Amino acid sequence: MSLTAAFTNAVLPILGIAVVGYVLGRETEIDVEPLNTAGLYVLVPALAFHSLATTNLGGEAIGKLAVGVVGYALVMMAIAWTAGRAVGESGTILSALMLAAAFPNSGFVGIPISEFAFGEVGRTTAVLYLTIQNVVVYTIGVYVASRGTGEGGLSAVTEIFRLPLLYAVVGAVVVRALGVVPSPETSIMETIQLVGDASIPVMLLIVGIQLANTDVSAVSRSATPSVLKLAVAPLIGTALALVLAFEDPTVARVFVLESATPTAVIPLALTIEYASDIRTEGISAPEYLSTAIFTTTAASVVVLTVLIAALQAGVPF
């Protein structure tokens, strides 16, 4: 697929909705929190349940995804720690750099772009990626966010058990295992699908609104996380996908695409909780991470367009 087709068919739709959200955030006093709550507690769980209950992906693919997501996070953290130390970062800023590099926006950006680029398999794979990543965020991510602050951070680990997404995934696995998945034509499944489908535009609006309200005061120090997220991350994702040897090449391509999405928003909440009052050379970890989110999201338009064109052309799978 050409770059023009990749941009028009996969990137432009999500970019257009995100721009609407950005303008909405700049021109109004809209509060993003209610939208975010509706997305996390209702829309995304419905999307996850329907996608996983009706998917043709097998247990082997899901197991490899789990290994890949955890492996990706650990490898990117190690690379970010090394790069951060090389450029003189330390303390909470170094932790923020590790979070920025290790956790892609596999939900709000990843799910829509994976569906536009690779259809139903893309959406289901992205949902699984997000679910596994959430477990990593609220375990390893909590430790990284709280390191150097004098706080253990263990209380936030329980957050994963408060998110309905986990229970939606478990519910889908159970009904599949018991062979009691309702027919897609039943009213209950059509309702769940309708609610889940609404998550795509809502998530993109949230991204735009969040970007409009982002503090970019640390833009002068955003080079390191931007290079790691936009240049190194796709290479690590590709290498892991080749090592894992997914049976379905589409799953492998979506794994790479998810790994290459911009810095996630969820780690920002962790840095706000554990390191908002600690400033290093005039900036705090939340300010540093906010800037990384903004710069990588803006620059990812070009990176994701090129990547999607290559993946859809069969490179390297």
pLDDT digit string (tens) for 65-109?
A: 999 999 999 999 999 999 999 999 988 899 999 999 999 999 999
Q: Which residue has the higher pLDDT, 149 or 65?
A: 65
Measured CA to CA, the distance from residue 314 to residue 312 in angstroms comes to 5
* 149 has a pLDDT exceeding 60: no
Residue 238 lies inside a defined structural domain of this protein? yes
CB 103 within 8 A of CB 266: yes
Query: What is the crossing angle of helices 12-27 and 110-136, to 10°?
Result: 80
Residue 258 has what pLDDT?
Answer: 98
Measured CA to CA, the distance from residue 317 to residue 310 in angstroms comes to 10
Residue 279 has what pLDDT?
Answer: 73
Residue 296 has what pLDDT?
Answer: 95
Q: Which two tokens stand for residue 255?
A: 């794994």
Residue 210 lies inside a defined structural domain of this protein? yes
Residue 155 has what pLDDT?
Answer: 60
Residue 153 has what pLDDT?
Answer: 55
CATH of the domain at 189: 1.20.1530.20
> To which residue do tokens 């780690």 refer?
267
Residue 267 lies inside a defined structural domain of this protein? yes
Residue 184 lies inside a defined structural domain of this protein? yes
228 pLDDT tier (thresholds 50, 70, 90)? very high
Residue 317 lies inside a defined structural domain of this protein? no
Q: Which residues form the domain of 278?
A: 3-312
Residue 43 lies inside a defined structural domain of this protein? yes
* 220 has a pLDDT exceeding 80: no
* 159 has a pLDDT exceeding 80: no
Burial 271-282 (b: 16+ CB within 10 A, else e): bbbbbeebebee
Q: Which two tokens stand for residue 295?
A: 């710069």
Residue 78 has what pLDDT?
Answer: 98
Measured CA to CA, the distance from residue 57 to residue 43 in angstroms comes to 22
Residue 165 has what pLDDT?
Answer: 87
What long-range pairs does 8-13 form, CB within 8 A, spacing at least 24?
9/116, 9/117, 10/113, 10/116, 10/117, 10/304, 10/305, 10/308, 11/113, 11/116, 11/301, 11/304, 11/305, 11/308, 13/112, 13/116
Residue 160 lies inside a defined structural domain of this protein? yes
Residue 109 lies inside a defined structural domain of this protein? yes
- Digit-coded pLDDT (tens) for 7-48: 998 899 999 999 999 999 999 999 888 998 899 899 999 999
CB 118 within 8 A of CB 253: yes
157 pLDDT tier (thresholds 50, 70, 90)? low
Q: Which residue has the higher pLDDT, 155 or 16?
A: 16
* 185 has a pLDDT exceeding 80: yes
* Full-model pTM: 0.90
* 255 has a pLDDT exceeding 60: yes
Instruction: Report how many domains make up the chain.
Output: 1
Per DSSP, 43 falls in state I
Per DSSP, 260 falls in state T
> What is the average pLDDT across 278-300?
85
For residue 24, count CB atoms less than 10 angstroms from its CB and return exposed for 0-12, middle for 13-18, buried for 19 or more.
middle
